Structures are given as C-alpha cells and as structure tokens.
Structure 1
Amino acid sequence: MNELLQNMVANIKILFLDFDGVLHPLNCEKENLFCKIHYLERALEGASSKIVITSNWRLTYSTQKMRELLPRSIGELVIGATEVINEINHKRFIEIENYLSTHINSSSIDWRAIDDSPQDFPTDCKNLICCNPISGMGSEEQIQIAKWLKN
C-alpha cells in the first residue's frame, strides 16, 4: 500500500465485512444474495470509513470483482481483502490483525468487524458486531455501526 493510502486509512475507521450470514442469510437462494445490504448502506451514509472484505468469497473472487458485485456506494469503499490464515482459534480476528499490521502499520486504527461467526473472534472482542446467520444484518447492527462511525 502506498504512503498516501496508508495516511488516508490511518485517519479513518475500517469495517471488516463478511458476506454470508451478514449481507444475506446463510445458505440463502441466489436471488436473495445481498438482500440485507440496505442496512449497511444506511449505516455508512455520510461517514468517513473504508471496508476490507473478510468473507470467504475472497477465495473465489478478486477484490475488484467483489467491488463490482456490491452496490456502488459500498463497492467504492472497499480497499482490500484479508489473507486467509490457517489458524484454529480466532481465525478472522487473526486475519484482521495480520491485515492491519501488514497494510496499515497502525495499532491505533479504529475498526469493527461485522460477522456471523463469533467463534472466529476472542470471547471479549469489543470490535465484533455479530449477526444472526439465519437472518443476516438488521436494524440493530445498522445502529451499532452508525453509532461507532459517529464517535
């Protein structure tokens, strides 16, 4: 990541985004993919934030392709995707820490993860906004993200 982008990212908030169980219910039909994304769009309205994708979709699609699959208002906020780390405990949390240390070089970055897999994070992780995988993101998670972005 170039120095300009590093400086820009260091001064904003980063949302680490999962897709399945968040932007749509887990195991939903293809026609319902991203059916919950309007909650994320509302939460991010007018905020200075960036998105890093943690979804397993990153195993199949390039970051650019994932940007294109998302609505423009969300896709243009995507700055990258985490690398897969083969850990047994707290897998997503470790992937996020690795991304921050590798790409941002700032331990003081303000971040949140929205995910449906709490087992992939430490039990006391204050940065996790957890969704119900059966329903996906809703107004409660939208409010949590919006409050975080306003602080």
Structure 2
Amino acid sequence: MILFLDFDGVLHPEYDGQPTPADRQFCHLERFEAVMRDFPHVEIVISSMWRYEFTLDQLRAQFSPDIAARIIDMTPQTERIDGKYLPARREGEILDWITAAGREDAPWVALDDADWQFQKHRDRLVTCTWYIGLDDTTAETLRTALRNEGHMT
C-alpha cells in the first residue's frame, strides 16, 4: 500500500498562496503520524510541491524517525506550461511514479487538498480542506481508505 502525501493544506493549513507561518507548519503532523502508526505496512511517497525546494532527506527530517523510514521516494516533477498549472498534474505525477517504480498492481491512496489535481482516480483521493488541513474527520476517512486498500467504502 502506497500513500502519496501532499504537505500544504494537509499537514498544515494553506494560506492562499502566502507562506505558512512558521508556528503553523506541520501542525497536523502528530495526527498524520498517529494514523500511519496504525498502518505500518503503508509506504509513503511525497507528492508535495515541497519536493521542488528540498531533497528527500530534508523532507524526511520533518517526520519522526519511524515514519521517516517509511518515506521511500518523491513523485517526479512536471514542469508548468507558460507558468500555469496543468489540470490533473498531481495525478499524472503519481501515475508516472507508479509506472517508473513498476508498482502498477500496488494499492494506493493520495492525501491532498487539491481535488482539481485529480480526474480519473478521485476514488483514491482523501481530500483535506485547504484552509484547515488534516482534521479528525479527514483522518478517519484516511483510516477507512487505508483499511480498504485505497477504496473509500
């Protein structure tokens, strides 16, 4: 089982294009890690835009050691066209990673706040509200998805 993880709007609220205040960064990390500890078989791949600015090791350093050890990779970066986002770009990067890793048969789920970044696989998406992040309700939805191998019901 693979979890594709976004940061902004998930592990902390997103601030409408503004940098997240330092005291709010990763404010939902403890909740996320608690869910992950209940599912020790789940591998994590970073799909966040943070991968454009930081190395995999720098991103792992944000997490507790037991969770960091389960972060296996980052999705490939797709360049913007004319500085604009592509529709379903995040989904495409996830599918590119799955193909490159030879994991087409692996169950997966994405935890993200940008549902517009997904078209064909919205059934594998656990969506956070961007200005809230991973709250208790969304954490329970994530638990259901992980328990059901990526299926929401």
Unaligned ranges ≥5, structure 1: 1-12
Match of 1:29 in 2: 21
TM-score by length of 1: 0.85
Residue 83 of structure 2 is aligned to residue 83 of structure 1: no
- State the SS of the aligned residue for 2:122: coil
TM-score by length of 2: 0.84
Q: Distance in 2 between matches of 1:94 and 1:50?
A: 19
Q: How many residues align?
A: 138
Unaligned ranges ≥5, structure 2: 81-85, 149-153
Over the residues paired in the alignment, what is the CA RMSD in angstroms?
1.5
- State the SS of the aligned residue for 1:69: coil
Higher helix share: 1
User: Would you identify which runs of 4 or more consecutive aligned residues in structure 1 move more than 3 Å?
Assistant: none
Q: Distance in 1 between matches of 2:122 and 2:74?
A: 20
5 Å matches for 1:70-149? 70-86=63-79, 88-103=86-101, 105-122=102-119, 125-149=122-146
Letter in 1 for 2:27: C
- 1:58-79 CA-to-partner distances (Å, cap 9, x unmatched) read 0010001100122223212100
- Identity between Structure 1 and Structure 2 (%): 28
Match of 1:42 in 2: 34
Match of 1:5 in 2: none
- 1:30-83 CA-to-partner distances (Å, cap 9, x unmatched) read 121100112211211231111000111100100011001222232121000001
